[in-house]
Amino acid sequence: MDVTTDAGAPWLIAGLGNPGPEYAMNRHNVGFMVADLLAGRMGGRFKRAGKAQAQVVEGRIGAPGPASRRVVLVKPMSYMNLSGGPVTALRDFYKVATARVVAVHDELDIDFGTLRLKLGGGDNGHNGLKSMTKAMGAEYHRVRFGIGRPPGRMQVADFVLKDFSSAERKELDYLVDRAADAVECLVIEGLERAQGTYNS
């Protein structure tokens, strides 16, 4: 059986970011923003996940009935560079195949607000993905939220740890909503359909 089409098995959706209010609106935290929105849609609230250094929400997405899917939303609380440990621990705890893990993350090499979905691949210098790949291999799904490159000579580390600009914030709610839609489409209808609808 294709593990990505088994309606009974859960999906693990990991929004990547850094914990703490000082990071909340950083570009690097867009994965947390999407996870929070998905939790709200499910009517759930994040709670600490036992011994795992993460917060989780369990529930279902999609219309009630056979089309809905079991999901575990995860926000690692280990800081971005160590995301792999908590995500892998929860993957093992919930007995989720790696192909049913989705990382939602910021992406420098894509224009602001552009989405790209894929399965597997490199980490492109993203420390959260690097940590996940080291812990579980590369064959997990990615929902890549474009943040663009830093202007001028600004260092990448400074850029990703800055808040979205005032101009970007005018569009951010819509774009985070669209990214959450893309995650739901991926889980319910599969990667090919989600790519056709949301990749731009």
Give the active site residues. 28
Report d(CA 187, CA 194) in Å as an integer. 9
Structure tokens given for 176: 């985070």
- Number of Cβ within 10 Å of residue 111's Cβ equals 11
Report d(CA 165, CA 169) in Å as an integer. 6
Residue 153 φ/ψ, nearest 5 degrees: -105, 15
Q: What is the 8-class DSSP label of residue 117?
A: E
Residue 184 φ/ψ, nearest 5 degrees: -60, -40
Report d(CA 159, CA 148) in Å as an integer. 10
